[in-house]
Structure 1
Amino acid sequence: MISTDATTRRHVLAAIACGLLPPRAGGADTTQGVGRKFNASGTAMPFRGNTIIIPLDSGSAAATLMGSLHDALADSPIARQLALLPVSSFHMTVFEGVNDHERTPANWPAALPTDTPIDTVTQYATHMLASAPFDYPQPIVMRATGLKITARGIGLRVTGFDHAQETAIRRLRDEIATRLAIHRPNHARYGFHMSLAYTIAPLPPRAASRTQAHINTLLAEAVQQQRPLPLGAPRFCTFDDMLAFKPLAPLPRQT
């Protein structure tokens, strides 16, 4: 069970991410991600778009594991260099839709001009996704493979629990890409993950190394024992920033 102190820490970090608390003290240096999804004080910036994700159900194995990692990062020596995401936003992305910052042909439906308003693209995608059911397992089962702290951000790396699960979710991505006519160059290389935080200031090397070692210890058992992380149905969602995802509809599934 999550302690009251742990819950309080989560609320504090979420408040910082929302800009409800004073900015972090410290250097003015920025990182690659600053100015796009978050600013240097940890406030979420406007970032509108749509996506297909699997939200993590409260109390699930995946949510519990992510919660423990979130708490460890909140207590870590690099906490003030991070914009930790609220627990309520935790998810695994199945397929990236579109957003206002990446209006290029490779990141946009081929049938629509790249200056099409986001709301119009969402209507188009809703229609295309609902036109026929998809073939995917329930539950979709993943397993953790590790976590790496980077200058861009932090996320739990996951993969299909076995070959059949990995093949099924990759096939689902292929079908969605075909249906939406979005064909990114890195489509086949996409690494599944569950985001925990964005880096908003340079990471002190020693502090980052200590944090990485602690996280590796926390994850060791789950990774080595290949513990299953069952997930629910993918959902088509919209977002205004990285703090919350509004579900529009579950991805239709063949029965």
Structure 2
Amino acid sequence: MPLIRNGSGTSEENEHDGGGGMIAATSASFQHDCQTKLAAQEGVSQEAYPRWITQKFEPDGRLLPFPGSTIICPLSPESALHRALLRLYSDLQGTEFASLYAMLPPTSWHMTMFEGVSDKIRKPGLWPESLALDAPLESCTTLFKQKLRDFDLRTEPPFRMAIYGFEPLEDGIALRVVPASPSEERRLRQLRDRLSTLLGTRYPGHDHYSFHVSVSYMLRYLNKQQYKDIWSFLQG
């Protein structure tokens, strides 16, 4: 079963052996989507920092506590994808724009199966409907453990994913992965639906959640030239 990661750094359930595959270049249509999003951002008022800075990281890149529970599929260190990401990781650290990002350690690389909860984000839909919004995080963790203890996956890992390209450079650098077939898409979406019903949370965009593997978080907003330079680097 996918691994359940909680804010204490421990985990429940069994580890999933992530699939492999080399990083592929994005399609022309996906690259166009990213360029369109960048153009739409120009002239729009922004916060001082990208959304996860001051929540997951300090502006200087230091890690902040971000307690909660998330259901993830760890990326196997034995996979071809992990080896390819290690090369990207090393290359990124040697670039002139390395200071723009907080790099995630390779031991943390994973694909999120279901978002779960965060102690810092308590809103209807993002917090179990059976708990008060001010309930202690420990109560939520206990509830999740109870509900997941006898949960039947109805489907067995591994989950077969294909590389689609890189996500738009909005929160950081992340590899977008998609189910490898229509049947794989159905079983992943159905599993997410069942987890949502079981745990009592449903994030906006649940039906169209974009599976991904994050490599770094952006510490500050990119200007147009930085965006182009980094995007060009990722395509190289």
- Find the counterpart in structure 2 of residue 102 from structure 1: 121
Residue 34 of structure 1 pairs with residue 56 of structure 2: no
Please state how far the C-alpha of 1:89 moved relative to its aligned partner: 0.4
Instruction: Tell me the alpha carbon deviations over residues 101-136 of structure 1, each in whole angstroms, 9 at most, x when there is no partner.
Output: 211111011111111111221111011012231122
Residue 166 of structure 1 pairs with residue 185 of structure 2: yes
| Distance in 1, Cα, partners of 2:96 & 2:148 | 44
- Find the counterpart in structure 2 of residue 237 from structure 1: none
Higher relative contact order (CA 8 A, sep 6+): 1
Please state how far the C-alpha of 1:149 moved relative to its aligned partner: 4.9
| Distance in 1, Cα, partners of 2:116 & 2:98 | 30
Which amino acid is the alignment partner of residue 34 of structure 1? I
Q: Is the 8 A contact 1:106 1:183 kept in 2?
A: yes
Please state how far the C-alpha of 1:35 moved relative to its aligned partner: 1.0
- Find the counterpart in structure 2 of residue 147 from structure 1: 166
Which contiguous aligned blocks of 4+ residues in structure 1 show a shift greater than 3 angstroms? 29-32
| Distance in 2, Cα, partners of 1:68 & 1:167 | 32
Among 108, 130, 149, the alignment partner of 1:89 is: 108
- Find the counterpart in structure 2 of residue 59 from structure 1: 78
In structure 2, relative to structure 1, the CA distance for the partners of 1:187 and 1:31 (3 Å cut) is: closer
RMSD: 1.7
Residue 75 of structure 1 pairs with residue 97 of structure 2: no
Please state how far the C-alpha of 1:191 moved relative to its aligned partner: 0.6
Q: How many residues align?
A: 189
Q: Is the 8 A contact 1:76 1:211 kept in 2?
A: no
TM-score normalised by the chain length of structure 1: 0.69
| Distance in 2, Cα, partners of 1:138 & 1:33 | 30
Unaligned ranges ≥5, structure 2: 1-47
Give runs of aligned pairs for residues 100-139 of structure 1, distance below 5 A: 100-139=119-158
In structure 2, relative to structure 1, the CA distance for the partners of 1:148 and 1:177 (3 Å cut) is: closer
| Distance in 1, Cα, partners of 2:219 & 2:64 | 12
